[in-house]
Each structure stands twice: as C-alpha cells, then as structure tokens.
Amino acid sequence: MSLNIVVLAKQVPDTRNVGKDAMKEDGTINRAALPAIFNPEDLNALEQALRLKDANPGSTVTMLTMGLPRAAEIIREAMYRGADSGIVLTDRALGGADTLATSYSLAQAAKKIGNFDIILGGRQAIDGDTAQVGPQIAEKLGIPQVTYAEEILELKDGYVVVKRRLENGVETVKAPLPCVVTVNGSAAECRPRNAMRLQKYKYAASPSEQATLSDTRKELLTKRPFLNISEWNAAFVEADPQQIGLAGSPTKVKSIENVVFTAKENLTIDGDNDDQIDNLMKELIANHTIG
C-alpha cells in the first residue's frame, strides 16, 4: 500500500547551544547569534515517516513547513535523509502567528495537499515548547490525533497502531486514518543524511532561492523537476486573512523579562539517617519542589 505521508517541520533557533549573545538587550531572541536548525523532534517524526515509506513501497513523504523563505533549508535537509518533496508556507501575512493562527494556516496547507494518509510532526518545537500546533491541526482538520508517539507499530487496513510514551509508562493506541501523530524525542533518532541523496538534492531550491541562482543552476532545475521546492502563500492555501498572522492570534505578548535564577534562602539538612531523609522529603513536598 503506498501512502501519502506529510511531515510537519519547523526551523528553529538552536536553543540547546545558548551562548551569552542569545538574548538581545530588549529581551527578545537574537536569531543571528543562534544557528537555525531542524527542530529535533521533527527529525524523530521524519524517521517514523521514512520507516512507513520503507515498509510501504511507492509511498511519498512530503515536508510542510511554515516560516521564512530560508526554511527551505530544512526541506533540503529532510530530502537528504529520505523525504521526496517539500512545501514552504511563507507569507508576510503569516508573520507573528501564535499556535492558533499557525495551526489554522498549516491545516489549510494540509487541505491543499489533500488526500494524505497520515500527518506526522514533532511533539513540540524547542523555541516555543507549546506542543499545541500538532493537536490543533488535527482539530481543524477534524481528524484523530495521537500525541507523545514513540513508535508507529503498525499501519494497515486504514488504521495505525502507535506506542505512546507517557509519564508513567507506555500506552498502545489504535487510530483510524487519516490522522495526526506527534512524535516524542524518545523515539528513534533520525537516520543520517545519505551521501547519494545529498548529491541528488543539494541544489533543490524554492522560487525565492532560485531568483539568486546562476543560469546553469536554473537550467538544472528545469532538467530535474524534483529539485523544485514549492513555496505557498496565504492566498494559495485559501486562508482567511482574519485567522492568520497577528490578526488571527489571540495570544498577545505583554512583556518579556530575563529571569535569573537565584536562591532566596537555603536550608541545610545534615545527616544520613532515615529521619533526616524524611525531613528532607517533607521539606521538598512542602515547597512544591516535588509532589
């Protein structure tokens, strides 16, 4: 059975390697100082998608990302690892979107792709850490969602069986297709870039990128149509201008402040007997550190 698989991915600042220049004076993220990377859990999602593709010959994996035109970089990255094609949803009107407006826009793009069997995405992006976009897309498309997925165990007869990693254990669920599955960082790591695919797709480019290419490279894109990365705007996905970008975002940022962790007071509990340990536990529970 050949599947039409869509993978949602986001280009994010690498917040795992935060240096002293990570924040600007005004408390906003200094994107120039942070390298833009493939959101890590989206790579886990891509791996699940590629496994489905491996198991179901003839399947295609289409990447969908919303962001600046340079997000085409992560589409290429996905192509090196096994994705077939990609779409960058980009438009000034989409800027400033919160999770509601983002999921609406992406759901519109998914409708435009149409005919998909499954949509996979990372649990959450490391810049916002909301984990809301995947589930909201499912709601907007009116299809089931499976979150915290660690492994897709089986996909057949219009159903997918997924192992979910929860706080206190695992849960195996079955959902009808099409559905949205958001994948945890505990899932299998994404396969490496493949040397042959890298050479094949390294000149893949979106229309914005093509504008700056030499004639030889443009010619190559005509000769090799698979090198074309699609670029869609809000109008193309028939998005309601009131529901996208800042206009469609009820979340307003009131203020941003730098938080410096400092201990206001400290308490030392000495000793190694059970009583002392008991006191420590009580203290920790009392101040809500645990429990």
The residues that touch another protein, with contacts defined as CB under 8 A, are 191-200, 202, 216, 220, 224, 226
Give 142 or 192: the residue with its C-beta nearer to another protein.
192
Picking from 266, 260, 262, the residue whose alpha carbon sits closest to that of residue 287 is 266
From the CB of 50, what's the least distance to another protein, in Å?
Answer: 10
Cβ(103)–Cβ(132) under 8 Å? yes
From the CB of 218, what's the least distance to another protein, in Å?
Answer: 13
From the CB of 214, what's the least distance to another protein, in Å?
Answer: 10
From the CB of 213, what's the least distance to another protein, in Å?
Answer: 13
From the CB of 158, what's the least distance to another protein, in Å?
Answer: 30
Give 17 or 28: the residue with its C-beta nearer to another protein.
17
Helix (H) / strand (E) containing 61 = strand 60-66
Q: Please list, in sequence order, all residues whose beta carbon lies within 8 angstroms of the beta carbon of residue 43, skipping any fewer than 6 positions away.
A: 9, 122, 189, 190
Give 77 or 151: the residue with its C-beta nearer to another protein.
77
Give 159 or 226: the residue with its C-beta nearer to another protein.
226
From the CB of 188, what's the least distance to another protein, in Å?
Answer: 11
Other residues' Cβ atoms within 10 Å of the Cβ of residue 60: 15
Give 216 or 262: the residue with its C-beta nearer to another protein.
216
From the CB of 200, what's the least distance to another protein, in Å?
Answer: 4
Strand partners, 228: 205
Picking from 107, 141, 118, 119, the residue whose alpha carbon sits closest to that of residue 238 is 107
**288 torsion bin: left (phi>0), alpha (psi -120 to 50), beta (else):** left
The DSSP code sequence of 208-270 is HHHTTS-HHHHHHHHH-GGGBPEEE-TTTTT--GGGSTTTT---------------S------
Q: Is 159 helix (H, G, I), strand (E, B) or coil?
A: strand
Give 70 or 200: the residue with its C-beta nearer to another protein.
200
Give 196 or 253: the residue with its C-beta nearer to another protein.
196
Give 195 or 259: the residue with its C-beta nearer to another protein.
195
Cβ(180)–Cβ(143) under 8 Å? yes
From the CB of 88, what's the least distance to another protein, in Å?
Answer: 21
Helices (H), 6-142: 40-55, 72-81, 99-113, 133-141
Strand partners, 231: 88
